[in-house]
Structure formats: C-alpha cells, structure tokens
Amino acid sequence: MSFCCAALLLYGCGTANPFGTVPVTGTVTLDGAPLDGVTISFRPSDDGMTAVGMTDVNGNFVLTTPGAPFGTGAVPGSFTVSFSKLEPVPVTPMGSSDTGGGMRTPVSLIPTRYNNPQTTGFDPIEVVARGRNHFEFNLESQ
C-alpha cells in the first residue's frame, strides 16, 4: 500500500499533457532558403484547437497549442496551414509630434497568398497520434 502512495506522489495528481497533443516539428523555406521569424499556424479542419510556432534562423519550427506547455505540439487531426512574417512597424512614442503620417499597415515579408490557409496551395496536413509529425514547407516567391 505504501508503495502505491509513493508512486502516486512521485507521478503527481495532474496530467502533463491535458489536451492530448503530440510533438509536431518542421521546416519552412522560401525558394529553398530557410526562413527565420515566420509564424506558422495549424488551424483545425473541424472543431479543435489551433497550434502555432515560429521558425528559427534555420527555418525550423516546433508547434505549441495555446494553453499547453511550450513545444507540446498539436492535437491529432486534420489542419490547414498558413504562414506570416510581417515587417516591424515602428511605434511612435505617446506625446510625440512625429506621427509619421498616421498608422502604417504592416507589410508582409513573404508572398501574401501564404497568409490565408485557403490560398497557400498546400493540402490539409494530417497530424497523427502515433508516428512522426515532421512537415517541410517550401514557399515560392513566384
């Protein structure tokens, strides 16, 4: 009996993966070159939770489902994918007389068709419960 109690204390009462997510990784390139700082979104085809990630200097990403621990991936299922990388917009300090002509709209640093899952040209992605979930996306500038 004491062994079972000790095991429960070591394991803990909660679950480390409350949403049932699985690891999802991948790479994003533009015309074959790695893309840094791209936000990638996996949106569920049905009801479900979106998973997001950001590429590093080598174009690699790790997905996280908001509300779950970092890097836990996505809930298994079918997803549409979209990408965004926006030019930073300078912030005008409050009280500054230089407004720069008003608010600037951020400019996409990748072709805008990749911002919308319906226009990316990529088929839905299937995240599986068992197996490797590694995806490679080559965006094209033309």
Q: For the chain, what are the domain ranges?
A: 19-89+101-139
Contact in structure between 110 and 84 (CB atoms under 8 Å): yes
Retrieve residue 126's tokens: 């299937």
CA distances (Å), origin 120, targets 19, 80, 110, 113, 139: 28, 9, 12, 6, 9
Residues 71 and 3: their CA atoms lie apart, in Å, by: 33
pLDDT of residue 91: 67
Which positions ≥6 away from 54 have C-beta within 8 Å?
37, 38, 39, 40, 61
Q: Is the pTM of this model over 0.75?
A: yes
Angle at 19 between CA 18 and CA 22, to 5 degrees: 110
Task: Say if residue 136's pLDDT is above 80.
Answer: yes
pLDDT 10s digits, 11-58: 444 556 768 899 999 999 999 999 999 999 999 988 889 999 999 999
Please state, rounded to an integer, the average pLDDT across all residues of the chain: 84
**Who wins on pLDDT, 142 or 98?**
142
Q: Which CATH architecture has domain 19-89+101-139?
A: Sandwich (2.60)
Q: Hey, what are 119's tokens?
A: 């226009």
